[in-house]
Amino acid sequence: MSNKKIQWNGALQPEAVEILSKDGGMIVCPTKVGYIIMTSDAKGLDRKFEAKERNRNKPGVVLCGSLEQLKSLAQLNPEIEALYQQHWDKDILLGCILPWKEDAKARIPDDGSKTMMMDKRDTSCFVIKFGKPGEILAKELWENHGKFSFASSANPSGKGNRGKVEGIGERIESHADLIIEANEYVTSIQPNESEKTRYEQGVMVSMVDENGTLVPEQKGQRSVTPCPILIRKGLDVDKIMSIMSDIFLTWDYRQGNYY
C-alpha cells in the first residue's frame, strides 16, 4: 500500500490539518458510515469531482465541527435549531438541506467554490456528528484556519466503500493526498450489521421548499406546509424520526426526493 495511508491516531491528525489548511488539499477520512473525501476549497472540490468522475449537480455537503459553526453558516429557525441540538447532545449523525446565510456566502472563497458546493437554490447539506476523526478536523480547520470542510463519499462511481478503506477504489486512492485508515472505528458504529445490512450513509432531511426557502416554523400547529422532508434514510433513522416527531407535528417521508 502507498505511504500516504496512515492509521487514525485517535485524535486530531496533524498531517490532515497540514494538507487541508493549504490550497487544493484532498484527503480520505473515516466517518460513522464509511469513508469520505474531504476538501476545503474549490481546487480541492475540483480534484474530488475528477477523482470520482461524477456530475457536479448534487447539493454540497458541509461538515460542521460545532453548532457554533453551523449557526454561523446556515439559516435556521428555532425548531430546526432544537432538532440539531438534540442530535448533537445524543451524538446522532444528521444532515439537513438548508439555505446559506447571506454573510456566510461572503466568506466562501471567490474561487469557484460556490457553484460546486451549493445547488442552484443556494442550499447545501449541513452535517453534524459524522464521526470523531472528521469532526475534530473540521473544527480545527474552521476555528484555527478559517477553512470550510466539504465532504463526498469516497466511492468509485456507483459502488459503496462498505466501510472499508480497501473499498475506496484505486482511482480515489491515487488522487488523494492522504488516506486516514480506521476500519475498526467504522465497524464499531454498527457492530451487529453485515456489509449487506449496514447503512452506508447518513439521514438527510430537507428543510427548504422547492425554491430553497426555509420551511416555516410550526409552533405546535398541525398541517403546516411546506414542512421538513426526510429525503434519505440512513444510520439511526428510527431515532431521528422519533426526535422529528417530537419537534414537528407535520413532516414528510420521501426517499430519494432530491435526487
Q: What cell numbers appear for 142 in the block?
A: 474552521
Share of the chain above pLDDT 70, in %: 96
Task: Give residue 9's pLDDT.
Answer: 97
Task: Give residue 245's pLDDT.
Answer: 97
User: What 3 state SS string does 82-128 have?
Assistant: HHHHHHHHCCCCEEEEEEECHHHHCCCCCCCHHHHHCCCCCEEEEEE
Of 169 and 116, the structure prediction assigns the larger pLDDT to 169
Q: What cell numbers appear for 218 in the block?
A: 410550526
State pLDDT tens for residues 118-157. 888 999 999 999 999 999 999 999 999 999 999 999 987 6
**Whether pLDDT at 170 is above 90:** yes
The residue written with cell numbers 474549490 in the block is 42
Partners of 180 in beta bridges: 6
**Whether pLDDT at 192 is above 50:** yes
Average pLDDT, the chain: 93
**Whether pLDDT at 55 is above 80:** no
Task: Please report the DSSP string for 117-166 in residue order.
Answer: HS-TTSEEEEEE---HHHHHHHHHHHHHH----EEEE---TT---TT-GG
**Whether pLDDT at 246 is above 90:** yes
Task: Give residue 56's pLDDT.
Answer: 67
The residue written with cell numbers 466539504 in the block is 150
* Helix 237-247, helix 78-89: angle, nearest 10: 140
Task: Give residue 1's pLDDT.
Answer: 45
**Whether pLDDT at 179 is above 70:** yes
Does an H or E element contain 28, and which? strand 26-30
CA–CA gap between residue 141 and residue 206 (Å, rounded) = 26
Task: Give residue 114's pLDDT.
Answer: 79
Quote the radius of gyration of the chain (alpha carbons, Å): 17
